[in-house]
A and B are shown apart, each in its own frame.
Chain A
Amino acid sequence: SAVISQKPSRDICQRGTSLTIQCQVDSQVTMMFWYRQQPGQSLTLIATANQGSEATYESGFVIDKFPISRPNLTFSTLTVSNMSPEDSSIYLCSVGDGYEQYFGPGTRLTVT
């Protein structure tokens, strides 16, 4: 399986600011995804990052709040914009072929 890294691994941010999370894969992959895991909860899909086109967002998530870039087949970014304490979560990227998915280590975000 692909090796996936995320930066930063954790951050503490003030409300109203934005944070960009990077996801790097060691091989080219077709599909990349971004998930949110709120404290003590399961994983919820935010969006599918499409290479060369706009991301596809799930219900309840919008581009203005979570802009995503996918400039090539090995890299993607997720920005959490205008943060509030409710955005405190683990943000995970994953890669897969639509069936098996492999996850990065996650970015632990705390908003104060």
Chain B
Amino acid sequence: GQQLNQSPQSMFIQEGEDVSMNCTSSSIFNTWLWYKQEPGEGPVLLIALYKAGELTSNGRLTAQFGITRKDSFLNISASIPSDVGIYFCAGVPSSNTGKLIFGQGTTLQVKP
């Protein structure tokens, strides 16, 4: 089945540092989504991407839809302690519109 490879699996960084994570697949995707999940909560949608090459920002977060439509990345600038959580990429494959495929998640820890 279709899979998304998300990396890194975890990150432990100093407050103020920038963070980058990415998601890749062997299949083409029509949509890329980035979610954040905090302990005891459901995932919260951060950014949605719909076009190859699209670059979208949400505050300190920036995400891009890869040109090949097989990858996406998320950057967080100037990290703060409340950025702590698990970040998931998710995509809607071109072959299966309407169903989300999730990456394995990147656990982010920020040291004040």
Question: Which positions in A face B, CB cutoff 8 Å?
Answer: 1, 4, 31, 33, 41-45, 48, 59, 92, 94, 98-106, 108
Contacts and interface: CB of A to CB of B under 8 A. Distances in A.
Given A98-B92, A99-B50, A99-B92, A42 B104 contact: yes
A101 B40 CA distance: 19
Interface string B65-101: 0000000000000000000000010101000011110
A102 B103 CA distance: 16
A42 B92 CA distance: 16
Contacts, number: 54
Name B's interface SS.
loop
Nearest to A90: B42
Contacts of A106: 40-42
Nearest to B1: A59
B45 A102 contact: yes
